[in-house]
Amino acid sequence: MTKTPANSDDVALLRQEIERLNKVVAVLTERSEDTMNAKPSDFSVFESTIILEDQVRTRTQELEEALHKNEKITRALQQAKMEIELHEKHLHDITASLGEGLLVVNSEGIVNFINAAACKMLGWREDEVLGKNGHSIFHRAPNDNSAEAMICSFVTESKNKQLYTSDEEFYWHKDGTKFPISVTVTPISFQNDTTGAVIAFRDITKEKQERDWLRLMQAAIEYSPSSVMLMDTDAKIIYSNPQVSITTGYSREELYGRCTSIFQSGQSSAKDYDHMWKTILSGNVWTGELLDRRKDGSLFWEALSVAPVTDEHGVINHFVAVSQDNTEKKKMQTLLQEMSFHDSLTEIANRRRFDDYFDLEWRRAKRKDTSFAIIMADIDFFKLYNDSLGHQAGDQCLKKVAQAMKNKIIRSGDLLARYGGEEFVCLLPETDLNGARHLAEILRLCILNLKIPHPNSSVSKYVTISLGVAAFDSDKVKSCANDLLLRAADDALYVAKSSGRNCVKVSDSNSV
């Protein structure tokens, strides 16, 4: 016999039936007892009564068993219902705690479920959305009633039974503002039919702003007039912008994975590289100049800044280098320096260069324990030459005298400078008095041999010079300031001019 589960009404009926049958059994039992005392002729009645009683008891047992089974089923159903409610609550708690918005729509786009994150992002309450068409509420642009706008791409894609993902979609907030979303639409299928879709989305406004910013930064780096490189901790190049290729002649592909030593020319000091690595490995920025080599072998000056890049724990994992080709600037600086150190008329060193070089070589002489000499020279009667022949002739005279003396100064450490007007000075490191006197006489003769006419000179019909010589030995160099040597040479020049000019006079260094 097939038994079907009973509901609460069925159970009540079963209980009533059992109660009724129990009453019947009681009545029949009573009658059977009376029958036992009846005549033998009534035995058939008794037999029928017994059979009926047995049937009643059997039916009663069946009904009790059915009742017991239904009670178990009822308890099982109640337990299952409690578990379902518990799972639903657990699922609700999970979806409510999700940072992503979650929607469940049917095949027509009607919202059957929306979680708390979606409500927060969209600005709608749950009761305002459930049972409504989500596309018309927050996917379609407000007041856009075009036929195209009425079609929900999410529902269309789900009906195609295809997973749909995009970072280019937008949702509309209740206040009318639009925000970009990253969305994943997963179709819900039952018996090979699509019944709806689960839509998971998140607001990517900040991410999009960051992506746009990174895109802008990348463009700025790519089109920067400065060379930009990114290296790993082994100084291997993992990125270079186009300007690096323009400056060095190497393509981006040739540089990728190569060590930055590919640019080293061997002309920069090892101390510069040591200082650079010590600085950047300590977490600081290094700035300096290096003389590097291009792919074609030519040298170029690079104004370079290198900075460490750290992770969130402060550990250095990359280095970024920004540089500019400083070659032309360096040439200009050299030219300007030469201009600032050279006399524009005579093209020899000027007074400023003399002062700097005198101080530098004097300190060197002290360290090396060497002698030092100076020759001072002055063109005789140069004012009369200028007055009679004109300033243009005077300038030409100065040029010829300067170049003639320069040609006689052959040691690289010696320096000839225009000290002022028609006066010249010659610095002679590591030179004693005899050597300086000999050179001074050579200079006097070379100017005389130029045979530059001087109509107003009282000592010669040609331009002549007077020279004063002074020298300090190593002990004197150590104990005296360099201006004393210069003063001694100037005093000797004064004596030469007072002694008839066109001669060499030597200072007595012992009297200084």
pLDDT tens by residue, 27-63 = 555 655 554 554 444 445 555 655 666 666 777 777 7
Same domain, 322 and 349: no
Could you give the percent of the chain with pLDDT greater than 70? Answer: 84
Over range 75-99, report the average pLDDT: 68
- Tokens representing residue 263 in the block: 């640019």
In a domain, 367, yes or no: yes
Amino acid identity of residue 317, one-letter, is N
In a domain, 302, yes or no: yes
Same domain, 53 and 168: no
Same domain, 401 and 478: yes
CATH number at residue 368: 3.30.70.270
Same domain, 424 and 504: yes
In a domain, 45, yes or no: yes
Number of C-alpha atoms within 13 angstroms, CB side, residue 213?
6
User: What are the distances in angstroms from CA 474 to CA 15, 375, 430, 431, 439?
Assistant: 135, 18, 9, 10, 20
Residue 446 CA to residue 464 CA, distance in Å, equals: 9
The winner for highest mean pLDDT among 17-26, 130-139, 186-195, 298-307 is 298-307
Same domain, 271 and 355: no
Mean per-residue pLDDT over the chain, rounded: 86
Same domain, 86 and 103: no
Q: Is the pTM of this model over 0.85?
A: no
CATH number at residue 247: 3.30.450.20
Q: Quick count: other Cβ atoms within 10 Å of Cβ 282?
A: 10
Same domain, 321 and 347: no
Give the domain-ending residue among 41, 69, 91.
91
Same domain, 112 and 188: yes
In a domain, 153, yes or no: yes
* Residue 161: domain span: 98-208
pLDDT tens digit string along 449-500?
999 999 999 999 999 999 999 999 999 999 899 999 999 999 999 999 999 9
Could you give the percent of the chain with pLDDT greater than 90? Answer: 59
In a domain, 376, yes or no: yes
Same domain, 279 and 190: no
Nearest to 495 by CA among 507, 511, 482, 512: 507
Nearest to 171 by CA among 118, 110, 128, 96: 118
Any idea how long the chain is?
A: 512
Contact 447, 405 (CB under 8 A): yes
In a domain, 336, yes or no: no
In a domain, 218, yes or no: no
Give the number of domains in the chain: 4
pLDDT tens digit string along 215-234?
999 999 999 999 999 999 99
In a domain, 488, yes or no: yes
